[in-house]
Amino acid sequence: MDHPRTDALPPPVPSSGDGPVTGPELTDGELCDRYARVSTAAVNDVLRAGGLTRQVIPHAIVPVRDDMRLSGTAFTIKGAKSLQLDGEMEERAAMLEEIPEHSICVWDTSGDDESAQWGEVMTMAAQQKGCRGAVIDGGVRDTEKILDLGFPVYARYRTSNGMLGRFRMTGWQTEIRIGEVTIAPGDFMVGDLDGVIVVPRALAEETLIAAEKIEEDEVGIKQMVTSGLEPRKVVERGGYF
C-alpha cells in the first residue's frame, strides 16, 4: 500500500541533534528484531518523507527464496574481477573473522557478472559469527545447501563458478556503492520480497519507530476498506491507498 500523504508520516529525523525522540537508544539486536517485523514499503515511505529517495538496492538483486527476510547492520565488502591467486584464501579468512554480530554481508562487486561471491562454507563461517544474511551485487552458489541452513541471501544471479581466479576482494568495512545507493559500514539493511532498502545508521531508530507507526495505522485503514467504506471517505478520515 502506498502512502502519498507525507504530512501523515512522522519525520525520520528529530528536529535537534538530541537523538531518538522516544525512549532510550535501542541495541543493534533490538533494532534488527524489530526491523524484521516491518515491511520495506513502510521503511521506504518514512525515508521518502525525509527526502531520502535513493535508498533501494537495484531490483535485480532478489532473495534466493521468496519467503526470506533480512535485517541487520552492513558489513561492507568491495572487490573486482581478478586472476590473482596469491594469499586470496588468507584474505577471505581475515574478512570472515572480522564479521560482527547482527551484521549483513554486503558485496559491491564492481559489476562482476561471472563469479559467485557467496557459498555454503562462507555461510557457515558467517553464521558462527552471528551474521544475519548477505546481499550480493553478484552471484551465489551452493544454493540448495544455503537454503538448508536457513540463511537469508539476496543476489543478482546463481552460478557454479567460484570466485577463486575470477574475482578478488579489495577491502572491507569501507563505503561502497550498489546501483545508486551508497552504503556505509553499520547502515541498516532491511529486506523482504519487495527487495532491500538501506537505512542510514544515524536514522535507524527514528525510521523504525515511524515505520512501525505506519503499519499500526494501516490496521485501521484496512478495516475501513474491508467494511465497504468508499475510497473517498477513507481518505477523508485520514486514510490512504
Higher pLDDT, 177 or 217: 177
In this prediction, residue 219 has a pLDDT band, given cuts at 50, 70 and 90, of: confident
SS3 for 40-105 is HHHHHHHHHHCCCCCCECCCCCEECCCCCCEEEEEEEEEEEECCCCCCHHHHHHHHHHCCCCCEEE
How confident is the model over 5-55, as pLDDT tens digits? Answer: 344 444 444 333 443 344 568 999 999 999 999 999 999 999 999 999 999
Q: How far apart are CA 104 and CA 125, in angstroms?
A: 13
pLDDT at residue 147, as a whole number: 98
Contacts of 104 (CB under 8 A, 6+ apart): 70, 71, 72, 73, 74, 75, 131, 132, 133, 134, 135, 189
pLDDT at residue 24, as a whole number: 61
How confident is the model over 53-102, as pLDDT tens digits? Answer: 999 999 999 999 999 999 999 999 999 999 999 999 999 999 999 999 99
How confident is the model over 197-212, as pLDDT tens digits? Answer: 999 999 999 999 999 9
How confident is the model over 152-185, as pLDDT tens digits? Answer: 999 999 999 999 999 999 999 999 999 999 999 9
Mean pLDDT, the chain, rounded, equals: 90
Structural domains present in the chain: 6-52+201-236 (no CATH), 62-190 (3.50.30.40)
| 175 close to 183: Cβ distance less than 8 angstroms | yes
In this prediction, residue 230 has a pLDDT band, given cuts at 50, 70 and 90, of: confident
